[in-house]
Amino acid sequence: MSGPNYAYSPFVRKGVYAREWTDLRQRCAVEALVMISAIFLSVAVAFVLAHFGYSEKWAFCALLLCMPAGIWASFRVRAFRCPRCERRYMSWAARGIPSKCHHCGLGYLEGSESKGD
């Protein structure tokens, strides 16, 4: 499977907008990975500091140091451009991925032969 319409993703196989939808899925995966890693890092730091007798408030500082990476990852998801109209697919205040573009009405994963269609 190669060619201009092929993109590697278990959910988006091929189609007109396959590469764009794959990009969005990868951005969402990076955002989730960064956020989950930040939580685990702060818990690990709190555990290690408590073990050595220090205050756990430094774990909160570790979480604050992870915040720029979380903001960056969230910004990348929110800045995704609609494959059809090239405008932002979702608003800055959106929770989750909307079912369609609020500008042109392109549905999520539309234009690809995927499991979601």
Distance, in Å, from the CA atom of 81 to the CA atom of 98, rounded to the nearest integer, reads 13
CA distances from 114 to 38, 54, 68, 110 (A): 31, 51, 33, 9
H or E, element range at 51: helix 18-51
Maximum separation of any 2 CA atoms in the chain, in Å: 58
pLDDT of residue 104: 87
Q: Tell me: the pLDDT tens digits for 9-60?
A: 555 556 778 888 888 889 999 999 999 998 898 888 888 888 888 877 777 8
Q: Tell me: the pLDDT tens digits for 55-112?
A: 777 778 888 888 999 999 999 999 999 988 989 888 877 777 888 888 888 888 787 6
